[in-house]
A = this chain, B = another copy of it.
Amino acid sequence: MTPDSLKELLNAVKEGSFTVDEALVRLRELPFQDLGCAQVDHHRELRLGVPEMIFGEGKSAAQIVRIVTAMADNGSNVLVSRLSIDKARKVMAAFPMAIYHDDARCLTLEQRTQERRGRGTILVISAGTSDIPVAAEALVTARFLGNEAASLYDVGVAGIHRLLARREQLASAGVIIVVAGMEGALPSVVGGLVDRPIIAVPTSVGYGASFGGIAALLGMLNSCASGVTVVNIDNGFGAACAASLINRS
């Protein structure tokens, strides 16, 4: 839309050949529609389909309480990820209804029942027991976002029979989140077994040449299975957000 065509539109409104409502339809997709809501973006759910979520790391308990309050006043459900138990206790003092998910280091406050919106089940699998915190973060997030979700832990590739025994469960999932550290080989094997969208989450589990998850990240990016996509190291939260969008698409 050029300045000229905008001028034409405004003239048309003036002359009545275009109603105000019709002009509004043409104009309301503009970016500024959310302007009034400042930094706390209450329209985000409408626009992006995700409720309010806060990254807890690097924020003080007081800051988190303040933000959760603003969101809760709006009637939203709220998820706080990467929240230490210490801070969580302080947040829960202010919001007794909130639930802290210990293994996932997440806090959820559900003020209204989250309707189930996803078509299938999001299956979260982990290679080892040390990967469980990241997997649990994905699990809690997926459920918070209105999805059916299940988990399957400790099925890494060095004992491949453990995985093969669950082929049926894998094949029946809507989306599969595969969480693995060390060499990060599990997504390739899973991707070769079933035709489901697979989101790979490298974890920082390992030592030495795992370089805090780089080895797993590179392994997943180079997966020889052609349907695998990858998120940041330890990003169970992001994997669940993506899985949720896929599950509802």
| Interface positions of A (Cβ within 8 A of B) | 1-7, 10-11, 13-14, 16, 20, 23-24, 27-39, 41, 44, 47-50, 53, 55, 57-59, 63, 119-120, 127-130, 153-162, 164-165, 167-168, 174-175, 182-185, 188-189, 191-199, 202, 204-235, 237-239, 241-242, 244-247, 249
- Shortest C-beta distance, A135 to chain B (Å), equals 14
Residues of B within 8 A of A3 (CB): 24, 28, 32-33, 35-36
B221 near A226: Cβ-Cβ < 8 Å: no
Question: Which one of B6, B155, B157, B208 contacts A221 once the chains associate, using CB atoms below 8 Å?
Answer: B208
B206 near A222: Cβ-Cβ < 8 Å: yes
- Shortest C-beta distance, A124 to chain B (Å), equals 15
Whether A48 touches B221, Cβ cut-off 8 Å, given contacts A32-B30, A36-B5, A159-B41, is no
B184 near A57: Cβ-Cβ < 8 Å: no
Whether A39 touches B129, Cβ cut-off 8 Å, given contacts A57-B207, A219-B184, A223-B183, is yes
Question: Which one of B38, B189, B208 contacts A234 once the chains associate, using CB atoms below 8 Å?
Answer: B208
Residues of B within 8 A of A50 (CB): 195, 226-227
